Chains A and B, each alone.
Chain A
Amino acid sequence: MNVRPLLPALSVFALLSACAYPKTIGEYRQMHQDHPDFPGAKRESFQIAQPLNQVAQHVKKKASECLNASFRFTERTNTSISSGITRYQPFANISAERAEIYVTQSGLTPSGKERGLIYYIFLLDLTPISKAKTKAELYYSWGEPSPRTAKAVRAWATGQDVGCPNLAAE
């Protein structure tokens, strides 16, 4: 079985071994806030000298450009073969008071049929500090592509264009 596409989800699963699996982005945030020291859980906070809406719209634009992707995989061993599609999808909820931008990962069969489970692998929360300043909080977990995605999103939020993270690379 190809485990690599499931690593972020597995790390979240490990994080949550004693709890309920997050079924909403709110639960994913709560899980990170309740277990900040759990191995694999990552949380970063930083400030940006730009208005909330400007930061949010820019990150949303880059996310839809770079983080909306599907990858086919096939893994062969001596005894088995497995294949399917890993799909990443970005979402953004933006208001005047706050913004949340997150990415889900789901597994599809080779024919494109949903396997059922959706994992949250990354969340960016934005809140205004003042009219010209924004507070950013990143939540993600161990296992690529989450850290690589966080690196890119952090750069986008601060106005740098570092390109797109390769979600398929190991």
Chain B
Amino acid sequence: MRRARKAVLRLTVLLAAVVLASCSGITPYRSDLAKNLRIEPKTSSGSLFQTLNAGVNVYEVDAKCQLVYLGTVKLKDSALDVGLAANRQIYLEFYFIKSAVLYSSSSSVDYGLLLRPRPAHEYTAEVSYANDLYKVQLWEKARSSAPKRLLERRSLQTCVPS
């Protein structure tokens, strides 16, 4: 009897989690591709009374320059690796959501960039948010140990339909 109750409780919690996840509209970005993008976040809300949620929405850009949402990577304090399809146009939309703890107020800002990952190359995104200044820098490096180079930001407006 006790075991059955526990099972029901677990199932309820699981169902609640599934419902909440589907309601939030956020799909975690998952990929079986080789990890070619390392994201190194360094973020701080700057106040005990505010929280900062940071993440990156990953989109594929189709031939008409329209975005196809692939998922979201939530950024915590530690670096993480993700796999992006090579030779495909990808749009990375970094976002920072700042919320007050004691009252209902929040603001968000995002910074997007286009990337066409090259085969046999690795990318590093350095992401920082401090004192209400944010910075995203994307570096590219060939796997054959060439020095890394800072990529110029390409905004979505630079996309040319094919």
Q: Is A170 an interface residue (CB 8 A)?
A: yes
CB-CB under 8 A for A65 and B107, given A163-B134, A166-B134: no
CB neighbours (8 Å) of B108 from chain A are 71, 168
Q: How far is the CB of B126 from chain A (nearest CB, A)?
A: 10
Looking at the complex, which one of A71, A144, A164, A170 makes contact with B134 (CB distance below 8 Å)? A164
Encoded as 1 (CB less than 8 Å from any A CB) or 0, chain B from 115 to 131 comes to 00000000000001100
Interchain nearest-CB distance for B80 vs A (Å):
21
A163 to B43, CA, bound (A): 13
The chain A residue sitting closest to B98, CB to CB, is: A169
Residue of A161, A169, A170 ringed by the most chain B CB atoms within 10 A:
A169
Given contacts A65-B153, A71-B107, A148-B133, whether A166 and B128 have CB atoms under 8 Å apart is: no
Contacting pair A165 B107 (CB below 8 A) = no
Which B residues touch A144, using CB under 8 A?
132
Determine if B111 is an interface residue (Cβ-Cβ < 8 Å). yes
Instruction: State whether the Cβ of A49 lies closer than 8 Å to any Cβ in chain B.
Output: no
Q: What is the chain B residue whose CB lies nearest that of A163?
A: B135
B98 partner, pick from A71, A148, A166, beta carbons under 8 A: A166
State whether A167 and B128 are in contact (beta carbons under 8 Å apart), knowing that A65-B153, A161-B135, A162-B133 are contacts in the complex. Answer: no
* Per-residue interface assignment for chain A, residues 43 to 69, with 1 indicating a CB less than 8 Å from any chain B CB and 0 otherwise: 000000000000000000000010001
Residues of B within 8 A of A164 (CB): 111, 133-135
> How many B residues touch A, CB cutoff 8 Å?
16
Is the CB of A138 closer than 8 A to any CB of chain B? Answer: no
Q: Does A152 contact B (CB under 8 A)?
A: yes
The answer to whether B109 has its CB under 8 Å from any CB of chain A is yes
Q: Is B59 an interface residue (CB 8 A)?
A: no
Q: Does B105 contact A (CB under 8 A)?
A: yes
Instruction: Assess the A169–B109 pair: CB atoms within 8 A.
Output: yes
- A112-142 toward B: CB 8 Å interface, digit per residue (1/0)? 0000000000000000000000000000000
Smallest CB separation, B150 vs chain A (Å) = 10
- Enumerate B75-118 residues with CB–CB distance to A below 8 Å: 96, 98, 105, 107-109, 111
Q: Are A148 and B107 in contact (CB under 8 A)?
A: no
Q: Is the Cβ of A165 less than 8 Å from the Cβ of B153? A: no
A148 near B132: Cβ-Cβ < 8 Å: yes
In the complex, how many angstroms separate the beta carbon of A169 from the nearest chain B beta carbon?
A: 5
The residues in B between 12 and 63 inclusive whose CB is less than 8 angstroms from any CB of A are none
Rounded to whole angstroms, the CA-CA distance of A167 and B128 in the bound complex is 16
Bound complex: CA A148 to CA B46 (Å): 14
Q: Are B128 and A169 in contact (CB under 8 A)?
A: no
> Which chain B positions have C-beta within 8 A of A169?
98, 107, 109, 132
Q: Which residues of chain B are within 8 angstroms of A162 by Cβ–Cβ distance?
A: 133, 135
Assembled-state Cα–Cα distance A164/B153 (Å): 13
Binary flags per residue of B130-162, CB closer than 8 Å to A gives 1, else 0: 001111100000000000000001010000000
Show the binding face of B for A, using Cβ within 8 Å: 96, 98, 105, 107-109, 111, 128-129, 132-136, 153, 155
